[in-house]
Amino acid sequence: MNLDNLARIDLNLLVILQVLLEEQSVTRAAHRLHVSQSAVSKSLNRLRETLDDPLFQRTAHGLKPTAHADALRQQLPLVLQNLYKLTQPPNFHPATSNRQFSFSMVESAYETLIPYFIGPLLQQAPLIKLDSYVWTEKSMQDLQQGQIDFGIAGRDILPQTDVNIDKVPEGIESQILFNDHQVCLVRKNHPILQAVKDGRWDQAHYLNMSHVQVRCEGNDWWALDYHLANLGLHRNLSTTVPDFYGAASVCAHTDLIFTLPSSFANHAQKLYSLVSIPLPFEFMPMAYVFLWHERNNQEPGHQWFRNIIFSSVDKAIANQHISKPNN
């Protein structure tokens, strides 16, 4: 497409051409367009010059389109309809939309949130397509570049300020969905449970144990490990696995301990013979954060999707032992 040539065309002339093709009369076209016959005639001359074709021949029965004008009559309505759509404000109708939405989520939030928002999304918009991915170290870049529409990530927060430690990149909007904290899982009848029962469960016991760890966003270490390293301490990460369910399974069949967000611990205990015990020392809480790019703030489809997510979190909170952020 040659944009230089297109820029020289007065698009208003296409409207006049369409009316002339429909009316096949300068007089009727002028009346319909609420302009003078002279103005329509001048526009027709400009059209002939621009398109290098006579376009119409005068006959006793009005204007007869040339072969070129006849060919334009087949294409012009669709062109004008598309131009008209470009001038309209964006809209989104869930019931009839076949839009495709994509999002990435940290695995630990899947069980907590997806059952609550997938249903409402598809109930209101049965024709849309949803593509879901696990949140990785590349997901934030994908969000910035428009490769995905939304993200749900876990972020550690400072307890004294309730502010995200990991600042989101420029252009990325965020809203905390719910707060969480770290707990520990061990198998039933694990020897450490006696220490918990006797009140001897402390940091020393925790560090002396062997741990199973989930590799998150490409990292073997979590914020907890960096926190301990700053104190000159470290965990014995005996086994590292790629996903939370794998870690829960390993934990259920060994003496390894698994530290994880409490919301996922609740789901893991429904599948495996595991016992939840508290982390035996103070550590910063965390939050699950909903992310999107600011370029989509006013886009109706994105607004609809975000509203479904935010309302579904309220239902998830009401049905599970998780806490809502302070406003």
Does residue 260 have a pLDDT over 90? yes
210: which 2 tokens? 């062997």
Cβ atoms of residues 158 and 251 within 8 Å:
no
pLDDT tens column, 196-247: 999 999 999 999 999 999 998 778 888 899 999 999 999 999 999 999 999 9
What local confidence, expressed as pLDDT, does residue 219 receive? 83
* Mean model confidence pLDDT for the chain: 88
Q: Please compute the mean of the pLDDT values over residues 149-162 and round it to a whole number.
A: 70
pLDDT at 155: 81
Instruction: Name, of 56-60, 262-266, 303-307, the range with top average pLDDT.
Output: 303-307
The domains located in the chain, with CATH, are 3-87 (1.10.10.10), 100-180+286-319 (3.40.190.10), 182-278 (3.40.190.10)
Q: For residues 107 and 130, what is the distance between their CA atoms, to the nearest angstrom? A: 17
pLDDT over 90, % of the chain: 67
User: Left, alpha or beta for 9 (phi > 0: left; psi -120 to 50: alpha)?
Assistant: beta
Could you list the beta-strand ranges (E) of 79-204: 100-105, 129-134, 150-156, 172-180, 182-187
The reported pLDDT for the residue numbered 256 is: 98
Mean pLDDT score, 45-71: 91
pTM (2 d.p.): 0.71
Is the distance from CB of 10 to CB of 47 less than 8 angstroms?
no
Top pLDDT among 89 and 112 is at: 112
Q: Which residue has the tokens 């420029």?
A: 170
Predicted local distance difference test score (pLDDT) of residue 84: 76
Asked if pLDDT for residue 154 goes beyond 50, the answer is yes
Q: How sure is the predictor about 161, in pLDDT bands with cuts at 50, 70 and 90?
A: very low
Joined together, the tokens standing for residue 35 give: 């302009």
User: 316 pLDDT band (50/70/90 cuts)?
Assistant: confident
pLDDT score recorded for residue 322: 59
Which positions ≥6 away from 304 have C-beta within 8 Å?
Answer: 92, 94, 124, 125
Q: Which of 140, 150, 37 is nearest to 101 (CA)?
A: 150
pLDDT (0 to 100) of residue 307 = 94
Q: State how far the Cα of 253 lies from the Cα of 269, in Å rounded to an integer.
A: 13
